[in-house]
């Protein structure tokens, strides 16, 4: 049997992080549950402060723990923020210059099914909320438009589908801000949302799915008219021109308390 001489054992900090991660996930610890303190981990493992801090930072970056410094501080479990998916993928999509067309291909493959499932699974309160969002007056930032699509995904009752749609919606929020979209285009989108919401509220699965697909195809046609489909979803120069917005959208505020 040939051994891989280049294979090195994992760093001590990685092993400590793995053990803590296993405890959190394996036991299903709820947000706010306390974990061993930095001092206790040093005592239990016999490792140095720098190693333990690195292990905790790894879990903090994954969104699995929160670290509060000071006399009343400590280490507690938290639920990972789904925006971490966008933080991971946005730089990759930028460097690969993934075209806007790719975003539409993905959305057309998933969102019509989400709308159909929403018609079958949405609660009465969710149906009412969809109708409210579809009937709003648009304002800067397209917040309600994106919230509408997010709610459709939540109404589908499929957790994996909801999670996988987080990244497209974060990207949608960014690229809408730089598109040449007229008030007529916004009105057309609002009309489409109203139709989708009506079919979901009525429990009409086939028509809800078809209405969503028609809405996405109409938006795609508009982007084609603007010659945007073969251009990057998030152009590289956007990171240079507007770093603050992208920092807030994908990375949040990571300043120390």
Instruction: Render 85-127 in DSSP notation, one character per residue.
Output: HHHHHHHHHHHTT-BHHHHHHHHHHHHHHHHHHHHHH--HHHH
Q: pLDDT digit string (tens) for 161-201?
A: 999 998 888 888 777 777 778 878 888 888 999 999 999 99
Percent of the chain with pLDDT over 70: 87
SS3 74: strand
Residues whose CB is less than 8 angstroms from the CB of residue 191 and which lie 6 or more positions away in sequence, other chains included = none
Indicate the pLDDT class of residue 140, thresholds 50, 70 and 90.
very low
pLDDT, average across residues 134-145: 68
What's the pLDDT score for residue 33? 95
pLDDT, average across residues 208-236: 92
Q: pLDDT digit string (tens) for 92-123?
A: 888 888 999 999 999 999 999 999 999 999 99
């Amino acid at each position: 049997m040939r051994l891989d001489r280049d294979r090195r054992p994992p760093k001590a900090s990685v092993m400590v992080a793995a053990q803590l991660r296993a405890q959190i996930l394996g036991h299903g610890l709820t947000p706010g549950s306390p974990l061993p303190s930095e001092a206790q981990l040093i005592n239990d493992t016999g490792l140095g402060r720098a190693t333990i801090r690195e292990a905790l930072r790894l879990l903090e970056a994954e969104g699995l723990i929160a670290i509060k410094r000071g006399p009343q501080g400590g280490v507690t479990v938290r639920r990972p923020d789904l925006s971490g998916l966008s933080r991971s993928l946005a730089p990759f999509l930028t460097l690969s210059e993934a075209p806007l067309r790719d975003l539409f291909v993905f959305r057309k493959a998933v969102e019509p099914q989400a709308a159909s499932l929403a018609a079958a699974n949405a609660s009465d309160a969710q149906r009412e909320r969809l109708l409210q969002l579809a009937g709003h007056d648009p304002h800067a930032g397209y917040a309600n438009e994106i919230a509408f699509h997010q709610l459709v995904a939540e109404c589908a009752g499929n957790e994996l589908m909801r999670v996988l749609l987080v990244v497209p919606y974060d990207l949608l929020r960014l690229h809408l801000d730089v598109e040449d979209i007229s008030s007529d285009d916004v009105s057309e989108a609002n009309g489409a949302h109203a139709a989708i919401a009506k079919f979901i509220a009525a429990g009409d699965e086939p028509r809800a799915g078809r209405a969503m697909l028609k809405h996405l195809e109409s938006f795609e046609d508009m982007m084609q008219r603007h010659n945007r489909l073969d251009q990057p979803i998030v152009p590289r120069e956007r990171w240079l021109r507007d770093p603050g917005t992208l920092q807030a959208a994908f990375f949040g505020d990571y300043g120390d308390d």
